[in-house]
Amino acid sequence: MQIDHILTPQRTFAGVQGGSKKRMLELIGKMVAQHSHLDPDNIYQNLIAREKLGSTGFGNGIAIPHCRLEDCHKPVGALFQLQSKIDFDALDGEPVDLIFVLLVPQEATDQHLQILKMLAEKLDQTRLREALRSAEDADELYRIITATDPGN
């Protein structure tokens, strides 16, 4: 699956004020809900529940918060470039400034894991992370993340 199958320009955000992990997850719920049919409180509650199982702070300043949602019918992604780093309880202890959110249908177990693997591999590329961090706006951020897809 390619990134542009789950991410839209409308769900790509640059220069976001994060504050704290909890505040960021709440903001994610609100911002994703504005550009999808999903409920902001449902997104937030499910992301918080997932974080309680273990941090989705991947390392290298990246977090990939994800969860399954009952009212989600296809995978939904959102990309956030933060204005300043926030503590996300990442595995490497480093603060986070790039967040890729993945919301999937309740029953999408295999697909969910495949997409997470693809995102982790993509965001593990140093040059890609640097380009995402230096993007001037959401349009550039979207172009960078989707241009690295095979065939694009």
Query: Which residues are catalytically annotated?
Result: 66
- Whole-angstrom distance, CA of residue 66 vs CA of residue 43: 9
3-class DSSP state of 2: coil
**Cα torsion at 97, 34, 70, 111 (round to 10°)?**
-50
- Whole-angstrom distance, CA of residue 58 vs CA of residue 64: 7
Give the helix/strand (H/E) hosting 146: helix 138-147
